[in-house]
Amino acid sequence: MASLERLPEPGTLNIGTDGAMAGRTGSYEKRLADMVGVYRDGDAYRQVLAENGPDAIVYRVAEHRYSDGPGELIVGTSTLLPGRVGDEFTVTRGHLHALPDRAELYHCLGGHGVLLLETVDGESRAVPLTAGQAVHVPGHWIHRSVNVGTEPFVTLFCYSADAGQDYEIISEAGGMARLVVSDGNGGWTPRPNPDHVGYRKAVA
């Protein structure tokens, strides 16, 4: 009789409120040079790029996964540094899952941020998050993190390992339908993006 394949061992992780993850299986960083076309104000982006250099870190991601198979989970942290590009607060690239019905959980560990959520049919939500608050994002919602505070915005996330990411759905639409910008009084406000041309329908 063939021997059973050995099951993976349970993962033991130490997760800090700064986003550090001991026991991670992977990590990556997104730098200013990687954010071309993400912000609407191209002149402001080029100014920030000139002042800080292309290697300036915008956000870091650490994660733990066993495989990309159905039924597996990816657990990780995202640490989005504070700042502005023109009147827009710093953002992650944002995505819809390549398998669009896959959900995701975001739990804020530190800082002050907004989870910007949109559907291809025109629904939009801007959900503020501070430490201890979480958003359970259903499938079919495009999502992006925004740091509206002065400290790193740190979230713990968890989603299905087979979900994948579709980043192009945002860039093809001219950006998300709403921007999170300064309200001129030390706070933030969502504002329509005049360059947004609508999302293509996601393939189920």
Write the CB contacts of 10 (distance below 8 Å, at least 6 apart in sequence): none
How many domains does the structure of the chain reveal? 1
Does residue 161 sit within a domain?
A: yes
State the pLDDT at residue 69: 81
State the pLDDT at residue 165: 96
Q: In what order do the strands lie in the sheet with 124-130?
A: 124-130, 112-118, 142-147
Domain that holds residue 131: 27-192
Pick the more confident residue, 74 or 10: 74
34-92 residue pLDDT tens? 999 999 999 999 999 999 999 999 999 999 998 888 889 999 999 999 999 999 999 99
Does residue 10 sit within a domain?
A: no
State the pLDDT at residue 2: 46
Does residue 84 sit within a domain?
A: yes
Q: Over 80: is that where the pLDDT of 3 sits?
A: no
State the pLDDT at residue 1: 43
CATH number of the domain residue 98 falls in: 2.60.120.10
Does residue 91 sit within a domain?
A: yes
Q: Which tokens is 25 given?
A: 């299986």
pTM as predicted: 0.94
**CA angle, residues 20, 21, 23, in degrees to nearest 5:** 155
134-174 residue pLDDT tens? 999 999 999 999 999 999 999 999 999 999 999 999 999 99
Does residue 21 sit within a domain?
A: no
- Per DSSP, the residues of 68-133 read SSTT-EEEEEEEEPP-EETTEEPB---BB-SSTT--EEEEEEESEEEEEEE-TTS-EEEEEEETT-
What is d(CA 133, CA 201) in angstroms, rounded to the nearest whole number? 31
